[in-house]
């Protein structure tokens, strides 16, 4: 837990979020600024700034949950596709410095992403 980290506060419930999934190691929630319907973020509960600073074991937990959460999104929103994205560094588009994976459901051309 990093005291001044937004996503640490979200994972503990100190800051509210729309929870999609939670277990001992990870927390998933809807992005506040949905690029498409069902846009979800998955974070490890253990703080790491970006993928470079993520211990392998933490990354293993984080990435291993992707299929399960992708399937939950598929069932809930019935998208026609899904993009998985991880930004590292400001120049790559990272704006919150707690490592996270974006799951972006796709609904065909003109869905607002890409
Ligand atoms: P990044 O740009 O770092 O890859 O992604 C950060 C994401 O966090 C952005 O898509 C942004 O909309 C989302 N975000 C920022 N602040 C909040 C918040 O307070 N709550 C939620 N649910 N998402 C947030
Ligand atoms: Zn954090």
Quick check: CB of 3 below 6 Å from ligand 1?
no
Catalytic-residue membership of 39:
no
Asked if this assembly's ipTM is beyond 0.95, the reply is yes
- Is the CB of residue 105 less than 8 Å from the CB of residue 82? yes
Q: Is residue 113 part of a domain?
A: no
Quick check: CB of 90 below 6 Å from ligand 1?
no
Q: Is residue 112 part of a domain?
A: no
- State the distance from the centre of ligand 1 to the C-alpha of 46, rounded, in angstroms: 17
Quick check: CB of 32 below 6 Å from ligand 1?
yes
Among the bound ligands, the one closest to the CA of 49: 2
**Other CB atoms within 10 Å distance of the CB of residue 58:** 18
Q: Is residue 1 part of a domain?
A: no
Query: Is a pLDDT exceeding 80 seen at residue 1?
Result: no
Q: How many domains does the chain have?
A: 1
Q: Which domain, by its residues, includes 43? A: 6-106
| Per-residue three-class SS string for the chain | CCCCCHHHHHHHCCCCCCEEEECCCEEEEECCCCCCCCCEEEEECCCCCCHHHCCHHHHHHHHHCHHHHHHHHHHHHCCCEEEEECCCCHHHCCCCCCCCEEEEEECCCCCCCC
Among the bound ligands, the one closest to the CA of 96: 1
Q: What are the pLDDT digits (tens) for 19-47?
A: 999 999 999 999 999 999 999 999 999 99
Q: Is residue 81 part of a domain?
A: yes
pTM of whole model > 0.90? yes
Q: What is the CATH number of the domain that holds 17?
A: 3.30.428.10
Which residue has the CA at smallest separation from atom 24 of ligand 1?
32
Q: Is residue 111 part of a domain?
A: no
């Amino acid at each position: 837990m990093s005291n001044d980290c937004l996503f640490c506060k979200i994972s503990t419930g100190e800051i509210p979020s729309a929870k999609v999934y939670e277990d001992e190691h990870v927390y998933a929630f809807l992005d506040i600024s949905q690029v498409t319907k069902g846009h979800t973020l998955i974070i490890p509960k253990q703080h790491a700034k970006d993928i470079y600073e993520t211990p392998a074991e933490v990354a293993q937990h984080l990435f291993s949950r992707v299929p399960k959460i992708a399937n939950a999104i598929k069932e809930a929103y019935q998208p026609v596709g899904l993009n998985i994205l991880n930004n590292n560094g400001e120049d790559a588009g990272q704006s919150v410095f707690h490592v996270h994976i974006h799951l972006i459901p796709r609904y065909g051309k003109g869905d607002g992403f890409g």
